[in-house]
Structure 1
Amino acid sequence: MTADDRFAEDFQEMREGRPLGTRNEIITGPVSDWATDFSHLEPEWAADPYPLQDDLRQRCPIAHTERFGGAWLPTRYEDVAAIAYDTERFSSRAIIASNFRPPRELAPMGAVPPISSDPPFHHGARKLLLPAFTKSVVARLETATRAFCHSLIDAFEGRDVVDAAHDYAQHIPMRVIADMLGFPPEDGPRFRDFVENALEGVNLPPEERIARMEDLFDYLLTQIHDHIDNPRDDLTTYLINAELNGHKLDPSHVSGTMALLLIAGIDTTWSAIGASLWHLAKTPDDRERLVAEPELLPAAMEELLRAYAPVTMARLVKEDMHWNGVDMKADDWILLSFPAANRDAAQFDRASEVVIDREVNRHAAFGLGIHRCVGSHLARMELRVALEVWLERIPAFTLDDPSAVTWAAGQVRGPRTLPVRIG
């Protein structure tokens, strides 16, 4: 069997008969009490989750909801960290809480390895990716990233108001990830659709979600075929040829990792860049200080990542148990809110404030435990370059209409509409 046949057969199996898991209807609509009926999909959570998290941390540090078929939301740093490090009692086979749970048979690899993988499979799957995301490899991408940021701002000429999320932030990780995977850069708009379907469409009927995910995997299969026929020096060819424990990667491993890099690698960084620009647009003191003291940017970046951490990651409870005062059931969702952990006053001084010269900042924006973001060096480079270029070219900017800013609902939170007045 050729490599091309191997991938085609695997994708056909995905379409025809793999089990979908246990279905659970999501209950939508207003929240009655965030301690007993929370939903991270509701508009008020997307708009400003921090007061809600602060309230829960004080009166009910581990919130519960019957939505999503049963889910828990720890809001204290110590609880989030404890679960993130506990791979014996919590599974990563599903990382996006939705209206059905994938079958346990997906473990230990999961659908999008290594982030969906449990030990011991996780170790080897993660190790495969590390060489592509070292500081030295990432450093080689900086010149092209900087030039691309300049080209985006060049296109603002003659405009007084631009959308810093739609016209700038989203395009940077789309271009970087496309280049790393060897995908056509003009496919960027399709990547945005894939991201929104995967991360913001969790309330759709499972059949519709699966149909939309098939569009993503059809696209990935096309790219895999092209790379088999025309090998080149990129991540896709690397994954096709990679071996784990002496064997070529299963096609679902290759495609799942590509899907992970495409979706998570874009949305998280897009959100971090957008949230940082939103903060600077509404906080002239911080903006002016960074323009005057660019050497502060590394510390400011870490503080912006702490204060506006974009990612909440899901886990599944493995077995019924009593944990830190609550009774968890097998296959209950756990939402690991790294944003909430990063605002815990027990862990951070002046936790609710943005202190751009904060010196000690061991934040959890990139996660905790074995699943800490493998692409953190890449994300930091993209964020730093995006802010350096923007502040160099557009040192003065403000929110054009604060009420027009919109935020993504779901487990990756960042501005989706961010109109700013420049000049």
Structure 2
Amino acid sequence: MTVDDRFGEDLEETRRERFLNGHRTEIVTDPVSDWATDFSHVDPQWAADPYSIQDDLRQRCPIAHTERFGGVWLPTRYEDVAAIAYDTESFTSRAIVVSNFKPPKDLAPVGPVPPISSDPPFHHDARKLLLPAFTKTAVARLEPATRAFCHQLIDAFEGRDVVDAARDYAQHIPTRVIADMLGFPQEDAPMFGEFVESSLESINRPPEERIERLTQLTDYLIAQIRDHVDNPRDDLTTYLLNAELFGQKLDPNHVIGTINLLLIAGIDTTWSAIGASLWHLAKTPADRERLVAEPGLLPTAMEEFLRAYAPVTMARLVREDVRWNGVDMKADDWVLLPFPAANRDPAQFDRAGEVVIDREVNRHAAFGLGIHRCVGSHLARMELRVALEVWLERVPDFTLEDPSAVTWAASQVRGPRTLPIRIG
């Protein structure tokens, strides 16, 4: 495969034009006045502690609303989050990140980052394409290299009393794994963090600035794809280039969008889960000491960390005006799906607000609900388990250096961005 006309020189401009046709809304950065009627999931207070806000809303206004971002609904009960996640007739997935810019309707049913942005029936076939790369067997082959890399990261701690567990450890693990899977250069890893920030943490910047940032990501992906066209190898990028749907090679926007999804979601979600787990253990000596003494408990504890600190909140758009569970939703309103709030609903989980590391029954929604449940859940679990196993083996005694210095991402993927840890 030496030439592929799908990825011609005009592709970058074509993709830019697709997004310029979307709908823009007013940028609002004022502090939140009332979380029931004026919430903002990028407000610093939400980033620091969304759980107390969600608990309050679940009691007095279980489906909150804001006019920010052109109108957003926020259900906080498990049953409501689940019902919306499963309702693909009333809610479209063509845009999954709430921002001041809504992609045009003609992007459906594929969406910008298939399959997570795809609607039925297209979604089924787009998701099926990815399944072979994320089976338990395929993921198991990645574990030895992942474990060795975790040890390398901790080797670099030698001589240091304080490390940033987010920036010096958690961030690097999924970055390395995803880059290897896609066949991207490891030396490009510093850019990946910038791409994550541009995609998920800059949603309230001017649309032109956001489009420019996203264009930089697209340009990078197209360059990597063209290199794979000229130099095919055994990786996920070449697989997508050769894959077919309905008897035809994938549309170039499908290839770019799926790689975009794997790169951004594959890094930020797992990075956040590893960081949040280490944050909990650093501030909870009893749990840390028990896991060091009982390493066999880690898989159970890991599921509890995923429940209690679920990193991901998804979004949908309302298809048509609808009265849903007592509220009047308008066409193209955003609807956030806060899986972290669902996971802490007392109606669904006993001792929902506590972290119970030996919780036996734990059907949490950290990986989503419905047809869009995370295709990479086996990979994320492997990375999280190995990251924690290696850390607890090598660094059994650690605490927060300064709790006030811990910062959290203000976006739909929440995890520690700075996490100073004192070793020993």
Corresponding residue of 1:139:
140
Determine if contact 1:220/1:255 at 8 Å carries over to the other structure.
Answer: yes
The reply on whether 1:411 has 2:416 as its aligned counterpart is no
Determine if contact 1:25/1:100 at 8 Å carries over to the other structure.
Answer: no
The reply on whether 1:122 has 2:123 as its aligned counterpart is yes
CA distance change for structure 1 residues 347 and 17 in 2, over 3 Å: closer, same or farther? closer
Q: Distance in 1 between matches of 2:218 and 2:193?
A: 15
Aligned residue identity for 1:314: A
Corresponding residue of 1:294:
295
Corresponding residue of 1:105:
106
Residues 265-414 of structure 1 mapped to structure 2, 5 A cutoff = 265-414=266-415
Give secondary structure in 2 for the equivalent of 1:366. Answer: coil
How far off its partner does 1:18 sit?
5.2
Output one character per residue of 1:385-409: Cα deviation in whole Å (capped at 9) or x when no partner.
0000000000000000000000000
Residues 180-191 of structure 1 mapped to structure 2, 5 A cutoff = 180-191=181-192
How far off its partner does 1:2 sit?
7.5
Output one character per residue of 1:288-339: Cα deviation in whole Å (capped at 9) or x when no partner.
0000000000000000000000000010000001100100000000000000
How far off its partner does 1:410 sit?
1.0
Q: Distance in 2 between matches of 1:408 and 1:128?
A: 31
Output one character per residue of 1:18-44: Cα deviation in whole Å (capped at 9) or x when no partner.
543111113112111100000000001
The reply on whether 1:253 has 2:254 as its aligned counterpart is yes
Give secondary structure in 1 for the equivalent of 2:4. Answer: helix
How far off its partner does 1:186 sit?
1.1
Determine if contact 1:26/1:98 at 8 Å carries over to the other structure.
Answer: no
Task: Give 5+ residue unaligned stretches, structure 1.
Answer: none
Output one character per residue of 1:229-267: Cα deviation in whole Å (capped at 9) or x when no partner.
111110000000000011100000000000000000000
Aligned residue identity for 1:83: I
CA distance change for structure 1 residues 187 and 256 in 2, over 3 Å: closer, same or farther? same
Corresponding residue of 1:202:
203
Give secondary structure in 1 for the equivalent of 2:145. Answer: helix
Q: Distance in 1 between matches of 2:245 and 2:20?
A: 25
How far off its partner does 1:137 sit?
0.3
Q: Distance in 2 between matches of 1:156 and 1:17?
A: 46
Output one character per residue of 1:71-129: Cα deviation in whole Å (capped at 9) or x when no partner.
00000000000000000000000000000111110000000000000001100000000
The reply on whether 1:6 has 2:1 as its aligned counterpart is no
Corresponding residue of 1:25:
26
Corresponding residue of 2:232:
231
Q: Distance in 2 between matches of 1:48 and 1:169?
A: 21
Give secondary structure in 2 for the equivalent of 1:232. Answer: coil
Q: Distance in 2 between matches of 1:213 and 1:147?
A: 33
Aligned residue identity for 2:310: A
How far off its partner does 1:3 sit?
4.6
Determine if contact 2:273/2:309 at 8 Å carries over to the other structure.
Answer: yes
How far off its partner does 1:222 sit?
0.8
**TM-score, scaled relative to structure 2:** 0.98
Residues matched between the structures, number: 423
Aligned residue identity for 1:386: A
Output one character per residue of 1:117-162: Cα deviation in whole Å (capped at 9) or x when no partner.
0001100000000000000000000000000000000000000000
Determine if contact 2:408/2:416 at 8 Å carries over to the other structure.
Answer: yes
Runs of 4+ in 1 over 6 A off after TM superposition: none
Q: Distance in 1 between matches of 2:90 and 2:179?
A: 36
How far off its partner does 1:5 sit?
2.8
Q: Distance in 1 between matches of 2:222 and 2:31?
A: 40
Q: Distance in 2 between matches of 1:160 and 1:52?
A: 35
Q: Distance in 1 between matches of 2:28 and 2:367?
A: 30
How far off its partner does 1:17 sit?
5.7
How far off its partner does 1:16 sit?
4.4
Corresponding residue of 1:83:
84
Aligned residue identity for 1:285: A
Determine if contact 1:172/1:270 at 8 Å carries over to the other structure.
Answer: yes
Residues 167-182 of structure 1 mapped to structure 2, 5 A cutoff = 167-182=168-183
Determine if contact 1:26/1:68 at 8 Å carries over to the other structure.
Answer: yes
Determine if contact 1:22/1:103 at 8 Å carries over to the other structure.
Answer: yes
CA RMSD of aligned residues (A): 1.1
Aligned residue identity for 1:322: R
**TM-score, scaled relative to structure 1:** 0.99
Q: Which of 19-28 and 82-91 deviates more?
A: 19-28
Corresponding residue of 2:159:
158
Determine if contact 1:314/1:335 at 8 Å carries over to the other structure.
Answer: yes
CA distance change for structure 1 residues 261 and 363 in 2, over 3 Å: closer, same or farther? same
Q: Distance in 1 between matches of 2:228 and 2:192?
A: 18
Corresponding residue of 2:95:
94
How far off its partner does 1:13 sit?
1.3
Determine if contact 2:71/2:334 at 8 Å carries over to the other structure.
Answer: yes
Determine if contact 2:82/2:370 at 8 Å carries over to the other structure.
Answer: yes
Determine if contact 1:87/1:118 at 8 Å carries over to the other structure.
Answer: yes
